[in-house]
Chains A and B, each alone.
Chain A
């Protein structure tokens, strides 16, 4: 039982429960299951993005271009839908994944082949992808009335009482959980973050793994592009401007070490939920939304201070069970 308390996720989950408890003293209906389901749904896109960013950060890299990728891919699918409403939504989602993948692969190739630090590469593509959105759209917006009802309705449809958006988030969480805990790739990702030199000697191709990881985050950015546009039903150059830092913030609150190697799927999800609850609760309990930035900033700093002690210790122990035996 005490060993249970060593996990950061447990503390984070406790913090979230306390947060919900505090909010419900001011506004009892907030803790209502229906409302919590709504909060989960509202946070789905951030959770998905945080997972994509997590695998990047675990390998000691960073992807600053995610929000721009989201913006570009969202514009592509919105314009496709406006021009050809007949394209079925599953095909559009596949297109979004492919477009996102290409953008991620460009980042990955530059990091892998030219060995440019990822922060520099994605700083460049951050502005390039957003600029490309402007070139593509000519600066025009795609409004709700140009999008087909299926485009807007897909993620709002409920299946077993749960909106499709939430289901997609759950699916992505499950996939990432399998990737990180049950596959060789997941293990390599942790290994690279903990010690890149040792990983090379262990036979891991660090460059190629980083490339794959950037492709994953690109696909996530593309998926989030469709979800974002169909949720907020407007595609413009301004979509998700500056959001890349919210994504990183969610990861940081979730206990993912910016130095690589430490972090978990549960942490990223809970970190995103934490930010999501704050932004959902503020208007409900009559705090001006202008407070949101200051509160989430304080939460980030607090989370980092609390994390600091853990990060001085070594990275995630991959062979935990073996060591315990």
Chain B
């Protein structure tokens, strides 16, 4: 009776399907990225143009910024579905400020503060009341976007100052956009935070076993609260970029972004069950999603069909290591 056979099909935290493949995940993503890059450059002669490549980056920089913070949140075992609604609410507040005659620095400040506030609200509900984050953020998703709808109705705010346009449309150097620079800086910052600090190690610890982490002296609630604040903050920054790029605010702004951000994070090799993942993977996944949508755009494939490719890519890339292991394992 000592040898109880290990039961199969148990969604246990120790039985993470991805964790053993995670070390080669980035390699897999690089192969995918290079392949899509090659296909793109054969598919269209305009693809390799520097300006066209620069345009490509706008496809992922805004969502990618949120994806970094979301990656940490998902590694810690939580999720935030309200990020797109935070963008809408922050953008609406910026729009109201513009109507009141606010200047660019005030607008940026409002975007960041509203994002941070929304994130803190999520974090408080999840940590203080011990509620499941997927449910809390479905609620706040409706709440935040609902407030945007109440304020805006069916109208749009326009008339953003000219200097505000820099954030979403400006270039820092030749074809390098401000958005791309921000994306790269955030990538390095989040890589450092997650992989080189004790804070990052605690995030992994919480995702692997929150109870053990708590007993080891990790302040689980506080760290999760900080992660929700970070996700809100990044959504606020993304809101500034998107509002600046579009030059207007509508209540439907950034609709559906939450799922694209999560797709990016999961494609980047972050386990949806928590406890595993890397920033490099998320950066690569962001590039891949940008490459796919841009390449298909060059081929005049409609946006909705691109989503098929993103969905297929997600499932195939996740399934690949599992199928591979099955075949090698011979079962």
Contacts and interface: CB of A to CB of B under 8 A. Distances in A.
B143 A135 contact: no
Interface in A154-198: 196-197
Interface residues of A, number: 56
A123 B259 contact: yes
A127 B315 CA distance: 11
B314 interface: yes
B140 to A, nearest CB: 7
Contacts of A123: 259, 262-263, 266, 311, 314
Given A132-B308, A292-B146, A296-B142, A115 B7 contact: no
A134 B304 contact: yes
Given A297-B143, A301-B143, A308-B130, A131 B153 contact: no
A115 B136 contact: no
Contacts of B139: 249, 252, 297-298, 300-301, 304
Contacts of A291: 146, 149-150
B156 interface: no
Interface string B195-213: 0000000000000000000
Nearest to A197: B10
B17 A115 contact: yes
A141 to B, nearest CB: 14
Contact of B130 (A131, A242, A252, A312): A312
Interface string A106-138: 000010101111011101111110111011000
A131 B304 contact: yes
Contact of B136 (A131, A296, A304): A304
A117 B323 CA distance: 15
Contact of A308 (B7, B129, B149): B129
Contact of B147 (A237, A259, A294): A294
A121 B134 contact: no
A297 B82 CA distance: 11
| Interface footprint category on B | 35 or more
Contact of B10 (A117, A206, A245): A206
A237 to B, nearest CB: 6
A139 B136 contact: no
A120 B302 contact: no
Given A196-B11, A249-B138, A308-B129, A139 B145 contact: no
A312 B310 CA distance: 38
Interface in B66-81: 81
B129 A300 contact: no
Nearest to B260: A127
Main secondary structure of the interface of A (DSSP, over half): helix
Given A123-B263, A308-B130, A139 B315 contact: no
A294 B150 contact: yes
Contacts of A259: 132
Contacts of B135: 252, 258, 300, 304
A301 B142 CA distance: 10
A301 B308 contact: no
A25 B125 CA distance: 33
Contacts of A245: 81, 138, 141-142
Contact of B255 (A205, A242, A258): A242
Contacts of A308: 129-131
Contacts of A8: none
A132 to B, nearest CB: 7
A116 B125 contact: no
Contacts of A130: 304, 307
Nearest to A65: B311
B63 to A, nearest CB: 14
A166 to B, nearest CB: 26
B131 A205 contact: no
B328 interface: no
A206 B255 contact: no
Residue of A237, A293, A295 contacting most chain B CB atoms (<10 Å): A293
B273 interface: yes
Interface of A: 60, 62, 64, 110, 112, 114-117, 119-121, 123-128, 130-132, 134-135, 139, 196-197, 200-201, 205-207, 237, 241-242, 245, 248-249, 252, 258-259, 288, 290-298, 300-301, 304-305, 308, 312
8 contacts: A124-B263, A126-B259, A131-B311, A197-B12, A288-B153, A294-B147, A295-B146, A296-B142
Given A124-B314, A304-B135, 8 more contacts: A125-B311, A127-B263, A128-B312, A197-B10, A258-B135, A293-B146, A297-B141, A301-B143
8 closest A-B pairs by CB: A294-B146, A297-B142, A293-B146, A297-B143, A131-B308, A300-B139, A127-B311, A207-B9
